[in-house]
Every structure is written in C-alpha cells, then in structure tokens.
Amino acid sequence: MDGRTLPVELVDGGRTARIGIMKCLAVLLITLVLVPLIAGLYGALHDQLSFTIAPEYFTRFKYDQFGFKPAWFGGHRPTVAVIGFLATWWVGLLMALFIAPLGLMYKDPVRMRKEIIRATGITLGIAILSGLVGLAYGWSLDSVPNGWYLPEGLVDPAAFIAVGGLHNFGYAGGVLGLCTAVTVMVWRRKRMV
C-alpha cells in the first residue's frame, strides 16, 4: 500500500473477503464429493486388473464377502467394477475429510484447489506404487503369509496370493500416501509464510 489507497476489504465493506471465503468453502464441498468418486473409479479400474490376474480372488472370495452374484450386474466385469468402487469410495471420503479442511489454510481458492489436487495425486500415486510392490511381493511368495485368507482348492493359488498382496499393500499405500500428502500440504504452506 502506498498510503493513498485503502485495502480492498475496507473499500468494499469486506465483500471481497466474503467472496473468497465462499469460494474456498465451495472448493471444500466439491472436494468432499469428487475425491470419493475418484477413489471409487480408481477401485473399479484396480479391480479390473485384479480380476484379469486372479479371477478366483473374486469368484472365491470377494463375491461372497460382498454378497454379490455376477448375474445381478450383467456379468463378472461389471460386478468386479461395482465391488472395486464400493471397496474404495470410502477411502476417498476419509482422504477428503483430511485434505479438504486442511486446504482451507490456503486463503486463495485457486491455490487451495491446486494444493488439494496435488495432495490427491500424491495419495493415489503412492497407493498405486505400493499396490504394485504388493503384487510383486505376492508373486514372490511360496506360501500364504499368516493372517491371509486362502480358500482351499484354488486353480491358481499363486495369482490369488499376488492379488491379495496388491490389495493389502494398496490400502497401506493409501494411508502412507495420505500421510505424505498432508505433510507436503503443511510444508508447502509453511514455506509460503
């Protein structure tokens, strides 16, 4: 300020600040809706890969776990997509419940949106990489780790175990990704100050 002009908030009675707050709240609400949808779509695609590798993971485990029959959804692939969506949308909601309010520390709605997109990308990226590590780990196993479910009489137990690794490590990667994303958001905000 050069001493001859007043801050915009004083000139317009705070209208500009109120609009900024409303835009930030809109970003928060959109995040709470979109991130669970993105996570659900990720799960639907993820489970398509899982089904390609180990159909028995679904036909002998997930269908029973969810109480679904493929005929209800028009076959295996649509059923697997529904299971994937239902298994991951809630993870996206938990993620959004952390990153959306945290995004409010950025007063500018454009910056807030960019930081939330970055955090979502970090979380998904780490979850994907972790899942792939889990898939490789699962393929490397000669037997089932303690606590892992393995139905009797599987045609391809190695594929079942590999996909179990993909799923278990993917969820762990989601948690690790969220922790990393939150840390990055806070670090980036502190750097701005």
pLDDT in tens, 39-54: 999 999 999 999 999 9
What integer best gives the mean pLDDT of the chain? Answer: 89
CA angle 140, 57, 153 (to 5 degrees): 85
Give the rounded percent of residues in the chain with a pLDDT score beyond 70. 89
Percent pLDDT > 90 in the chain is 71
Alpha carbons 70 and 53: distance in angstroms, whole number: 18
Q: For residues 181 and 120, is the Cβ–Cβ distance under 8 A?
A: yes
Where does the pLDDT of residue 8 fall: very low under 50, low under 70, confident under 90, or very high at 90 and above?
A: very low
Q: Is it the case that residue 4 has pLDDT exceeding 80?
A: no
Confidence band (pLDDT; 50, 70, 90) for 130?
A: very high
Number of residues written out for the chain: 193
What is the torsion angle, in degrees rounded to the nearest 10, for the CA atoms of residue 107, residue 113, residue 116 and residue 121? Answer: -150
Indicate the domain borders of the chain.
Answer: 8-192
pTM of the model: 0.84
What does the pLDDT average to over 60-68? 94
Under a CB-based contact definition with an 8 Å cutoff, are residues 88 and 43 in contact? Answer: yes
